[in-house]
């Protein structure tokens, strides 16, 4: 009986599975990107990404590259060019499973104006099955010691947890807080005739020219102006947009302060930070 036949069969399975993962990486449905946009009603946007773009980077990209490397090693061993070593091959397949598991972990980010949810698509589910086949084939081809199997399980679990945490952090960083301003002095940029031409933001308070001042509260891109001695009973709400560089632009939601006088100074105006 040829004792090498199971090894060569296992290597062939490993090579084919790695090749299939690389081929699947060209599909654009690895991760479903669902966004709910709130504001004037609710709107939903659904997109999908491949392993080489968007939220597929870097975890999925690393998984596909690792699968390709393992496939090359398996092909070299199948051709008799190198000698198989149990620990690197089995642990490499375990790390691959960990990366794929991290990419399949659902990730959610709730912002002020929108929420984003990332869920696995069919190519990622298929890649998990193929990765499991690669791990099993590596075990059959090398018959690793129990210590190696224990280490490989730990590596898979650690990679899954760290990869999922990294994806959660990256999504939060990419979505941001919606805040486009910083404390400092702003000057009117657009040159239009306004009732105020300076805006100072410091420690949760604002001063708009010589006439308006009070509390400055924010959540996401929405700011609320209150406790203004010029109109103590009126609150103003604005959306503050990024206008490029350090500049910001105000869009009024509602502001009845002094029959709209404060809104005349802010609504549609662009301010650039000078300090």
Token pair for 169 = 């952090």
CA distance 65 to 18: 10
Q: List, for residues 130-167, the tens digit of each pLDDT value.
A: 999 999 999 999 999 999 999 999 999 999 999 999 99
- Mapped onto helix, strand or coil, the DSSP state of residue 249 is strand
Q: Give 157's contacts (C-beta < 8 A, 6+ positions apart).
A: 98
> In the prediction, which pLDDT does 242 show?
84
Q: List, for residues 74-124, the tens digit of each pLDDT value.
A: 999 999 999 989 999 999 999 999 999 999 999 998 766 668 899 999 999
Instruction: Provide the β-strand partners of residue 267.
Output: none
CA distance 52 to 24: 11
pTM confidence score: 0.72
Q: Is 193 exposed, middle or buried (0-12, 13-18, 19+ CB in 10 A)?
A: exposed
């Amino acid at each position: 009986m040829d004792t090498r036949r199971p090894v060569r069969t296992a290597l062939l399975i490993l090579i084919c599975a790695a090749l299939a993962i690389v081929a699947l990486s060209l599909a654009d449905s690895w991760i479903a990107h669902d966004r709910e946009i709130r504001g004037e009603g609710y709107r939903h946007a659904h997109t999908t990404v491949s392993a080489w773009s968007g939220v597929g980077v870097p975890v999925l990209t690393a998984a596909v590259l690792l699968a390709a490397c393992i496939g090359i090693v398996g092909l070299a061993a199948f051709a008799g060019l190198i000698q198989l070593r149990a620990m690197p091959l089995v642990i490499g397949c375990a790390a691959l499973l960990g990366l794929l598991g991290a990419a399949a972990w659902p990730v959610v980010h709730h912002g002020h104006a929108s929420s984003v949810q990332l869920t696995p698509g069919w190519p990622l589910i298929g890649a998990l099955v193929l990765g499991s086949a690669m791990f099993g084939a590596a075990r059959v081809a090398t018959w690793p010691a129990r210590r190696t199997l224990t280490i490989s399980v730990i590596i898979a679990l650690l990679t899954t947890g760290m990869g999922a945490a990294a994806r959660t952090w990256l999504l939060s960083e990419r979505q941001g807080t919606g805040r486009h301003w910083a404390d400092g002095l702003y000057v009117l940029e657009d040159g239009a005739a306004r009732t105020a031409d300076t805006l100072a933001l410091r420690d949760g308070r604002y001063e708009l020219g010589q006439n308006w001042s009070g509390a400055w509260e924010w959540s996401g891109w929405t700011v609320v102006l209150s406790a203004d001695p010029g109109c103590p009973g009126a609150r103003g709400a604005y959306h503050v947009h990024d206008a490029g560089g350090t500049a910001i632009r105000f869009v009024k939601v509602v502001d009845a302060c002094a029959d709209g006088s404060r809104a005349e100074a802010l609504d549609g105006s662009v301010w650039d930070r000078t300090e």
